[in-house]
């Protein structure tokens, strides 16, 4: 006897499904990405451009941050996804943005050094320099650390992310020295600064060197 699959729409709150602005835009959320906060529309040629929607907690400043970033939409270093903030007098705010291809589905093994360095440049610009210039830090919390420099920790996190990308891209070949050197520069060796950290480069400096390496 087969088990009937659970309709994913049942995991989406009724107020979200009936959100007037989503209905006006023809956005029908059906796929649960991160319950109970993030969903997306179906993928495929018959469903139009896919979108993702996220509920913003009342205690979060995320909606305000996205609106601020959108005011800089023309900035060359702003690679953030276009994001609309939908506000309601009776319900939580929603973030609506295009649903992009899953990062892990990319074919890293075929990347050239130039392509990899371009990824480094983009991540350094938007993930570091642009956000930090607008006084935004990711603030990924470390349970073992009570106090740390959030801007420096962002640089460390970017280095760890780039290290994983490089390992995927060069799984069957030797990593170029410039890739290894840049990643280690971002990661640094410090793990416990409680004030302004000088153990790794600033976002501005990291972006500058990624641009010169890519050029």
**pLDDT at residue 116, as a whole number:** 86
Helix axes 177-187, 113-124, angle to 10 degrees: 20
Nearest of 190, 189, 191, 127 to residue 155 by alpha carbon: 127
Domain chopping of the chain, boundaries: 8-98, 104-214
161, 129 in Cβ contact below 8 A?
A: no
Helices H, strands E: what count in the chain? 8, 5
**Residue 191 pLDDT:** 59
- Report the 10 Å Cβ neighbour count for 37: 17
Q: Is the omega angle on the peptide bond into residue 36 within 30 degrees of 0, that is, cis?
A: yes
The predicted-structure confidence for 75-91, as pLDDT tens digits, reads as follows 887 878 889 999 988 88
DSSP string, 10-70: GGS-HHHHT-HHHHHTT----EEEETTTEEEPPPSTTS-S-EEEEEPPTT--HHHHHHHHH
DSSP designation for 112: -
128 to each of 57, 135, 152, how far by Cα in Å?
Answer: 24, 10, 10
Q: In this predicted structure, what is the pLDDT of residue 3?
A: 47
Please identify, in words, the CATH class of the domain defined by 8-98. Answer: alpha beta
User: Tens digit of pLDDT per residue, the chain (215 long)?
Assistant: 454 555 555 578 889 999 999 999 999 998 888 888 999 998 877 677 899 999 998 888 889 989 998 888 888 878 788 899 999 888 899 999 998 876 666 777 888 888 888 888 888 876 688 888 888 877 555 545 455 677 888 888 888 889 999 998 898 889 999 999 999 988 887 655 666 666 777 777 777 777 666 65
pLDDT at 96: 96
Encode pLDDT of 137-179 as tens digits: 775 555 454 556 778 888 888 888 899 999 988 988 899 999 9
Question: Looking at residue 1, what is its pLDDT?
Answer: 44
pLDDT value of position 78: 81
What pLDDT is stored for residue 195 in this prediction? 64
């Amino acid at each position: 006897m087969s088990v009937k699959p659970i309709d994913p729409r049942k995991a989406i709150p009724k107020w979200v499904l009936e959100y007037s602005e989503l209905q006006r835009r023809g956005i029908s959320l059906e796929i649960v990405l991160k319950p109970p906060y993030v969903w997306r529309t179906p993928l495929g040629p018959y469903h139009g451009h896919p979108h993702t929607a996220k509920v913003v907690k009342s205690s979060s400043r995320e909606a305000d941050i996205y609106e601020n970033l959108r005011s800089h939409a023309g900035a060359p270093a702003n690679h953030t996804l276009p994001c609309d903030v939908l506000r309601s007098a009776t319900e939580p705010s929603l973030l609506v943005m295009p649903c992009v291809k899953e990062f892990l589905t990319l074919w890293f093994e075929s990347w050239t050094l130039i392509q990899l360095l371009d990824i480094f440049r983009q991540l350094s610009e938007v993930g570091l320099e642009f956000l930090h210039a607008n006084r935004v830090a990711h603030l990924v919390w470390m349970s073992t650390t009570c106090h740390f420099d959030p801007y420096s920790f962002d640089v460390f996190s970017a280095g760890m992310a780039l290290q994983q990308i490089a390992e995927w891209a060069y799984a069957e070949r030797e990593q170029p020295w410039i890739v290894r050197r840049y990643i280690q520069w971002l990661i640094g060796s410090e793990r416990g600064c409680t004030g302004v950290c000088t153990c790794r480069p600033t976002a501005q400096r990291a972006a500058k060197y990624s641009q010169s390496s890519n050029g």
